[in-house]
Amino acid sequence: MTSRLLIIIVLFFISACSKADKDRISLAEKGVGDIVVGAVFPKNSVYHFLEGFELAIEDLNRKGGVLGRKVRAIVKDDEYLVQKGKEIARGFAKNPEVVAVVGHNDSDVAVPVSLIYEMNKIVFINPCATTPSLTAHGFRYVFRTVPTDTAYAENLAKVAKKKFKAVLIVSTDDLYGNTLSDNFSTFAANLGVEIVGNIHFPPFEKDLKSEFIRCANLIEGKRFADKYDAIFLAAKEQTAAKIIKIARDLKITSPFFGADELDAPGLREVAGDAAVEGTIFCTIAFQGTDGLTAPQTSFAERFNRKYRILPNAWTAQAYDTMMVLAYAMEVAGSTLPNKVAETLHFIQDWQGITGVYTFDEKGDILDKNSDILVVRNGEGVFDAELTRLIQETE
């Protein structure tokens, strides 16, 4: 491709973006009609992200909407696929009614689509993607309402210091695995936690058992369980479940611990309840060391009445993300994306269901509490002692 042709293509793209921007600004300035928000959540998810988001829209509209206008959502599902996520983002960018987008839960999708939203000046607020690179560029329109892998790693290092003498790190060689394991290794070393080894798996390895045996050198007649008392696991849900099952099949009994990807029913379905018993994970806060607060109880009751199921922390997280976006619109007195983005950057101590929200200059949430849960009898049970430990030492 010649440089002249490349310049023409770039200029055409910029021109197209400018027209979409002008139409979006024009409609937002009029301040009439529905406020349209794009939403990208998985359908039929056991975490009920979409249901939490829908309840937020319902609660807002029941109280008169935002700025006296009804909020309307356009819901899509990117199926955790990068290409599909980009197509959805481009579709929202072409729709001048869309002033903000909530969702794109997977970090591998969220990072590339963030560029599309930034270039098209649409507020993008993510409730689930934890990779630090999402906000590393300091984009003006990109925000997240969940702690980063760095924050989770620091908390888990504190747990390791408290509970274990020596730790084996097992991770996948991808964005999630490398970021989480590298950060944990650094924090753990600083706290004096002994790391006995670090096993990396290719993210799409088909024969995980052979790879595990090869890397762990289990055929030498020695079990790693003789050298460490816990395994730090940094892998996405399905791979994490397979690794746990393999370890148990090899008679490795040490507990696993890790971040929010271990907060997954799929873990128990694949590995089995006995295999995951005692697994420790750090995830977004929902109940606190003193139990559910009054607002959390009210939220849970309303959600249960509507959907006949109990909400979880991720349900509340999706709810909060829409509500803090609506709050920013109210404070800004406008749905103009630039004004909403500016307001989000300056929000301090907004109280949500899952914690207090204050955004920094990069769009990250500050000082949001996390919970530590332990799998007991197939369910994640809140551990007040460990949760208090990480919160008191932040």
- Within the chain, residue ranges assigned H as helices are 3-30, 49-62, 82-94, 107-119, 149-163, 175-190, 208-216, 237-249, 265-271, 273-276, 294-307, 313-332, 337-346, 384-392
- Within 31-79, residue ranges assigned H as helices are 49-62
Architecture of domain 10-147+293-369: 3-Layer(aba) Sandwich (3.40)
Q: pLDDT value at position 339?
A: 97
Number of other residues whose CB lies within 10 A of the CB of residue 388: 13
Q: pLDDT value at position 10?
A: 40
Residues of each domain in the chain carrying CATH 3.40.50.2300:
10-147+293-369, 150-287+371-392
Q: How far apart are CA 215 and CA 252, in angstroms?
A: 14
Tokens representing 20 are: 């979409």
Q: Which amino acid is at 134?
A: L
Q: Is 86 helix (H, G, I), strand (E, B) or coil?
A: helix
CATH fold of 150-287+371-392 reads: Rossmann fold (3.40.50)
CB 102 within 8 A of CB 141: no
Pairing relation of β-strands 123-126 and 256-258? unpaired
Task: Note the pTM of the prediction, 2 decimals.
Answer: 0.87
- 71 bridge partner residues: 35
Report in angstroms the alpha-carbon separations of 223 from 165, 218, 239: 17, 6, 22
CB 185 within 8 A of CB 169: yes
Q: pLDDT value at position 202?
A: 78
Residues 6+ apart with CB under 8 A from 8: none
Q: pLDDT value at position 272?
A: 74
Mean pLDDT by 10 residues, the chain (394 residues): 42 55 87 95 90 97 96 96 97 96 95 96 96 92 95 95 92 91 95 88 71 56 66 91 86 90 77 84 80 86 93 93 98 96 94 92 88 87 88 66
Residues 6+ apart with CB under 8 A from 187: 153, 154, 156, 157, 158
Q: Which of 261, 260, 279, 269 is nearest to 354 (CA)?
A: 260
